[in-house]
Amino acid sequence: MPPQVLQVAVLASGRGSNLDALLASIRAGLVAAQVTAVVSDKPDAPVLALARRHGVPHVVSLPPLAGEKRDAYDVRLAGTLGACKPDLVVLAGYMRIVGPKVCAAFPDRIVNIHPSLLPAFKGLKAIRQALEAGVAFAGCTTHLVTGDLDGGPILLQAALCIRPGESEEELSRRVLRLEHLVLPRTVQLFAEGRIQRHGPGAPGPRDAANASLRIAIAPGPTWLGDARVNLAAGALYGEGF
């Protein structure tokens, strides 16, 4: 049985608009979760103040120490997260690579939101990459975090048409609005226990043994048609399950 209220830890490095959207969806009753921890690698990230304002119980600034190796930071991060015992870890604008120690501590329970229609335009400056490639659609993707950067199994996506001559700033703003729908929706699917492993593969970072890991979303209620959900005009959002 899924827990009644999913305990969520959020990792973020910046302004925290995705955290804000998640908290708003929880308040609106759309997501049965509680954000119990917010951890940032950037001590001055606005997301930390935002989390404090909203009364998140554990708000942790965890910058890397001088000369600290990535592995050592990972151990500290896994320990910090582990102490909060989250059911789900959400990367919401987290700018560090999450290493194998953290992935192994939360197998199939780390989600990232990325501002492109993966598998296209992985990594940094995804919106700029899309504009430079001249594609017609942009969007965002939630996916499970594995050892493969922005390459874990896809959970949800939403898309919009790129307008002629659209600037990177404007397109980023429109895609961000989609993120604010897709990330909370993804958390709610976990809360409902509907994210299920499908096909072969052991839990943990993607490797040769579980390269074919796929995720299935069990049938259930959708947000399509819910008056509380405000989808940007012209956006495409599929819940075909």
Q: Which of 54, 58, 114, 180 is catalytic?
A: 114
Tokens (6 digits) for 13: 């490095």
Applying the rule CB under 6 A, the residues between 147 and 186 that interact with ligand GRF are: 176, 179
89 — phi, psi (to 5°)?
A: -110, 130
Q: How far is the CB of 178 from ligand GRF (least distance, A)?
A: 10
Q: How far is the CB of 64 from ligand GRF (least distance, A)?
A: 19
Of 10, 18, 48, 101, the residue at the interface with ligand GRF (CB under 6 A) is: 18
Tell me: does residue 113 bind ligand GRF (CB under 6 A): yes
Sequence-distant (≥ 6) Cβ neighbours of residue 129 within 8 angstroms = 116, 120, 121, 123
Tell me: does residue 92 bind ligand GRF (CB under 6 A): yes
Q: Which is nearer to ligand GRF, 108 or 179 (CB)?
A: 179
CA distances (Å), origin 50, targets 8, 42, 197? 16, 14, 34
Q: How far is the CB of 13 from ligand GRF (least distance, A)?
A: 7
Q: How many CB atoms lie within 10 A of CB 153?
A: 22
Amino acid making up residue 143: H
Beta bridge partners of 145: none
To the query of whether residue 114 is one of the catalytic residues in this protein, the response is yes
Query: Mask 58-87, x = binds ligand GRF (CB under 6 A)?
Result: ------------------------------
Q: How far is the CB of 116 from ligand GRF (least distance, A)?
A: 9
Dihedral Cα 52, 58, 61, 65, nearest 10 deg: 170
8-state DSSP, 63: P
Tell me: does residue 205 bind ligand GRF (CB under 6 A): no
Q: How far is the CB of 99 from ligand GRF (least distance, A)?
A: 17
Comparing CA positions, the residue from 57, 95, 65, 62 lying closest to residue 79 is: 62
Q: Which is nearer to ligand GRF, 15 or 70 (CB)?
A: 15
DSSP 3-state of 166: coil
As annotated, the active-site residues are 114
Can you give the binding site for ligand GRF, defined by CB under 6 A? 12, 14-18, 92-93, 113-115, 176, 179
